[in-house]
Amino acid sequence: MSFLAPLAFGFAASIPVVIVFYLLKRKRVVKLVSSTLLWQKFLADTQASAPFQKLRKNWLLYLQILLLALAVLALSRPYFATTAKPAQLRIIVLDGSASMQAVDESPSRFEKARFEAVKWVDSLEPTDQMVVLLAGANAEVKQSATSEKAVLRRALQACAPSDSPTRLGPALKMAEALVRDRRSAEIHLFSDGAVPELSDFENKALPLIYHKVGQRADNLGITALDARANPEDATQRAIYTSVGNFSSNTMSADLELLFDGQLLDTRPLTIPGGQAEPQVFKASQAKDGVFTVRLTSKDDLAADNEASIVSLLPKPVNVLLVTRGNRLLEKALRAAANVQLAVANDLTDAGQGFDFIVLDGVVPTAWPKGNVLAFRTVNTNWIESVANVEGPVIVDWKSTHPLLRYAGFDNVQIVQSLTARAPTWAVSILEAPQAPLILAGDLGRQRIVWVGFDPLESNWPLRVSFPIFIANAVDWLNPANAKNSQLLIKPGDPFRLALAEPIKTAEVKLPDGSTRQLNVEGANEVVFGDTAKQGIYHLRAGTNQVTFCADLLDSAESNIRPSDELKFGEYTRVTATTVQRTNMELWRTLAAIGLAVLLFEWWWYHRRTV
């Protein structure tokens, strides 16, 4: 045991004074008071005439000495040191992601985490310092290193959760930089553990203490949303969504479909625990608008119960095929939806008036400035060190890339192909042992797909993957579709809009109805980053009026089951701790014992006199 105020033991000198009072001759006037029970025997002895008398056994004396001793001990502030060691610097990291809004803690996980963080502020020693970080839509430093407890409390009070997925990585990198080369430092993370694996910190040896927040995972959440043309009826749109049940119990809810706020359809859902239920709605659409799906369930997390997507009516895709004669490629392009195809043997005007250009083994007089699909055609500004390979063998392809969706390359044989090392702007989606065979990426504002071989020098056109690849390429290279994909973002991600002409200001209407003014004078694009809340945003920039949506759509975030440990790579784990605050003082306990002694004496008196 140690004492925070050992000088208080000086008050122990008052104990002999109490004893002296019992030795002195009494000259008192008899008064009846509420606590004379312990005085009766002593008052019976009234014959002492000497200034001092013999000290007799007296329970009142013992009680007074005990009370005085307890008071002295309480003033000395004794404490027991716990296993937690005081640190010169503590980093508080509050997880402000969407899952921290779950209400399985009262009133929410985030409020519970903030309450626990305030306790650590209260236990801060005068020589220690603390930093407050918020890991929400972005990593924010809410308070730099300070010992001022009032300032730290205000910083914690200013923190608020967002609707974004968990993004602990940047916050932990910031914290790691602050504690680097400091022996007495700790990082206190208050989170529910609903985070992806943090493999970047596997060998960092972070002094991390993980405080788990959360109790259960009773949640239904919308995890996917897409709107496309209905393949069975060109006049309709097909809205695909998926609802996951992340609890262990069967849960029921109504799923509603709305278009621009108008209710179109409602479906009752009953989903077993741990399963997902895909749903497809079909709806007529006469104008551009926003489809919204909404769950009416009462679960622990509301942030994933609604999602919206902008649906633009499909427009014809103007494509120019520059070729010396490739009927199979021309036929595949004409079979793609909404394609209006023109064929030429050269390009002289950079492809003005077309959505994208297809170069089939032709080096054009003027290289296109828009999107390009190039077969065995090389521009030195795109790729360097091109080599020719005979009979390359396909060893791998990226089936997750939009260009290769549903397209496989089994049994595809190639006579010869150009190969090149992937440049920084592109990724390889089809590979041979020597080098990539197909590259795709964005070079500036130009989207390029480069195929190193001529389809006619392979059996690829005879495989079903060829027309599928061409249809995927039409979707991916269509500027209108690229624009559509930009209209759906994750909460916390910035929205960007390229400007055709300079403007001075722009205005954004947020989902809650408030507006933000943006100064974009001299900029060639509008960048808006205040998207922490999910919902529908409206941007007005000059003559441009754009609607975009921010949706969670994250199954990992909707799975709000608290994790008992954090994974840092394959072998490193940080287990949730129950570390208590240091310097557990005992003065409150001692004061309570003293009060109990007084109450006992009062009770004993009334019990004997009633």
The pLDDT tens digits for 379-434 are 878 887 788 999 999 999 998 898 998 888 988 999 999 988 888 899 999 999 88
pLDDT confidence band for 276 (50 / 70 / 90): very high
Dist. CA 457–CA 296, nearest whole Å: 56
| pLDDT of residue 45 exceeding 70 | no
- The answer to whether the peptide bond before residue 402 is cis (omega within 30 degrees of 0) is no
Average pLDDT on 144-169 reads: 93
Hey, what amino acid is at 155? Answer: A
Dist. CA 88–CA 434, nearest whole Å: 55
| pLDDT of residue 196 exceeding 90 | no
pLDDT confidence band for 54 (50 / 70 / 90): low
CB-count exposure of residue 85 (10 Å: 0-12, 13-18, 19+): exposed
Q: What is the pLDDT of residue 524?
A: 85
| pLDDT of residue 269 exceeding 60 | yes
Average pLDDT on 129-135 reads: 95
Dist. CA 35–CA 337, nearest whole Å: 99
Instruction: Report the C-alpha dihedral over residues 41, 42, 46, 51, rounded to 10 degrees.
Output: 160
244 within 8 A of 276, measured Cβ to Cβ: yes
Query: Which two three-digit tokens encode residue 481?
Result: 């579709």
Dist. CA 171–CA 206, nearest whole Å: 13
Provide long-range contacts, Cβ within 8 A and 24+ apart, for 597-605. Answer: 597/63, 597/66, 597/67, 597/70, 598/67, 601/35, 601/37, 601/38, 601/63, 602/34, 602/35, 604/37, 605/34, 605/35, 605/36, 605/37, 605/38
CB-count exposure of residue 513 (10 Å: 0-12, 13-18, 19+): exposed
Q: What is the pLDDT of residue 56?
A: 64
| pLDDT of residue 28 exceeding 80 | no
Average pLDDT on 92-102 reads: 95
Residues of the chain above pLDDT 70, percent: 88
Q: What is the pLDDT of residue 542?
A: 86
Question: What Cα–Cα distance (Å) separates residue 498 from each residue in 41, 276, 450, 476, 538?
Answer: 98, 38, 25, 18, 15
Query: For residue 388, how many other CB atoms are within 10 A of its CB?
Result: 12
Nearest to 552 by CA among 191, 221, 168, 103: 221
Ranking 2-6, 212-216, 390-394, 549-553 by mean pLDDT, the lowest is 2-6
Query: What is the reported pTM?
Result: 0.70
| pLDDT of residue 204 exceeding 70 | yes
| pLDDT of residue 48 exceeding 50 | no
Ranking 58-72, 481-495, 519-533 by mean pLDDT, the lowest is 58-72
Nearest to 477 by CA among 458, 456, 451, 459: 451
pLDDT confidence band for 255 (50 / 70 / 90): very high
pLDDT confidence band for 83 (50 / 70 / 90): low
Mean pLDDT of the chain: 86
Q: What is the pLDDT of residue 97?
A: 94
| pLDDT of residue 43 exceeding 70 | no
pLDDT confidence band for 580 (50 / 70 / 90): very low
Query: What domains sit in the chain, N to C, each tagged with a CATH number?
Result: 2-80+591-609 (no CATH), 89-215+562-582 (3.40.50.410), 220-310+553-558 (2.60.40.10), 317-475 (3.40.50.880), 484-550 (2.60.40.1930)
Instruction: Report the C-alpha dihedral over residues 92, 97, 103, 107, rounded to 10 degrees.
Output: 40
Task: Output DSSP code: residue 397.
Answer: E
Q: How many CA atoms lie within 13 A of 222 on its CB side?
A: 28
Strand partners, 356: 319, 371
Q: What is the pLDDT of residue 426?
A: 92
| pLDDT of residue 36 exceeding 70 | no
| pLDDT of residue 86 exceeding 80 | no
Helix 465-477 × helix 327-335 angle, to 10°: 60
| pLDDT of residue 46 exceeding 70 | no
Q: What is the pLDDT of residue 51?
A: 53
User: Which residues, in sequence order, are CB contacts of 144 under 8 Å at separation 6+?
Assistant: 131
Helix 14-23 × helix 59-76 angle, to 10°: 170
Average pLDDT on 548-573 reads: 87
| Angle formed at CA 416 by CA 413 and CA 421, multiple of 5 degrees | 105
| pLDDT of residue 42 exceeding 60 | no
Question: What Cα–Cα distance (Å) separates residue 579 from each residue in 21, 86, 187, 208, 518?
Answer: 49, 12, 13, 12, 46
Query: Which two three-digit tokens encode residue 493?
Result: 């991600």
Question: What Cα–Cα distance (Å) separates residue 207 from each residue in 268, 290, 490?
Answer: 48, 47, 31
Helices (H), 393-498: 465-477, 479-486
CA 83 to chain centre: 32
DSSP for 472-530, written as a single string: HHHHHH-HHHHHHHHTEE-TTSPEEEE-SS--SEEEEE-TTS-EEEEE-TT-SEEEE--
